[in-house]
Amino acid sequence: MTAPMPISLEVNGERVDAHVLPRLNLADFLREQLQLTGTHVGCEHGVCGACTVRVNGEIVRSCLMLAVQMHGASVQTIEGLSDSGEVTDLQAAFRDRNALQCGFCTPGMLMAAQDLLKQHAEPDRERIREHLSGNYCRCTGYQAIVDAVETTARARVGRRP
C-alpha cells in the first residue's frame, strides 16, 4: 500500500486522474504534479497559511491534507479563483493598498479573504483580522491587507471605497 494509489478529482473545474504516494500532501501534489505553483509551501505544519486552498468550497491547509484524501473532491486553487475573475477586485485592492511586498503569503491571504467576504458582506476590521489570523505575512504588518479587504468589501456592497 506504500505504492502509488489512483485518485480522481476535480481541480479548478478540470477532471484530474493521477497516481500518488500516500505520503504526498495536497500542496506538493498541486505544485509538483500539476504545476499549480500559486499554492505556496511555508511551514508545512499548518501555522503559516501560505498553502490555503479550497476543498469542496471550504478553505483548508493543503499541507495538512493528503493527496489520496482528495479522491472524489473538488479543489480550487488561487489559479482557479484568479482565472475565473472571482478575486479580480480583491487582487486590485491588494495592489492599490500595497498589501503585499514579497508576495509569498498573498495567494493564501487572497483565499482566506475571499472566504470571509463570501460569508460576510461587510466584516469590520476585527472580523477581518480574526479570519486572517491563520495567515502569516512577514512584510506588510497586516494593516494594508486589512485595508484591502475592507475596501473590497465596501466596493462589493456598492458603497464608495
CB of 85 to other proteins, least distance (A): 23
Output 5 or 92, the one with its CB closest to other proteins. 5
In the list 1, 14, 159, 160, the residue contacting other proteins (rule: CB under 8 A) is 1
- Rounded Cα distance between 5 and 7, Å, is 6
Please give the residues from 114 up to 153 whose contact with other proteins meets the rule CB under 8 A.
115-116, 129-131, 133-135
Residue 5 in contact with other proteins, rule: CB under 8 A: yes
Number of residues engaging other proteins in binding (CB under 8 A):
33
Report the candidate in 41, 150, 133, 54 with the shortest Cα–Cα distance to residue 99: 150
How many Å from the N-terminal Cα to the C-terminal Cα in the chain? 55
DSSP classification of residue 66:
B
Rounded least distance, CB 61 to other proteins, Å: 5
> Which residues, in sequence order, are CB contacts of 97 under 8 Å at separation 6+?
144, 145, 147, 148, 151
Contact set for other proteins, span 10-69 (CB under 8 A): 21-23, 25, 28, 44-46, 49, 52, 58-61, 63-66, 68-69
Burial of 16 (0-12, 13-18, 19+ CB in 10 A): middle
Minimum distance, C-beta of residue 40 to other proteins, in the bound complex (Å): 14
Yes or no: say if 9 and 72 are a contact pair by the CB < 8 Å rule.
Answer: yes
Q: Which is closer to other proteins, CB of 54 or CB of 97?
A: 54
> DSSP letter at 98?
T
Contact residues for other proteins, defined by CB under 8 A = 1-2, 5, 21-23, 25, 28, 44-46, 49, 52, 58-61, 63-66, 68-69, 71, 112, 115-116, 129-131, 133-135
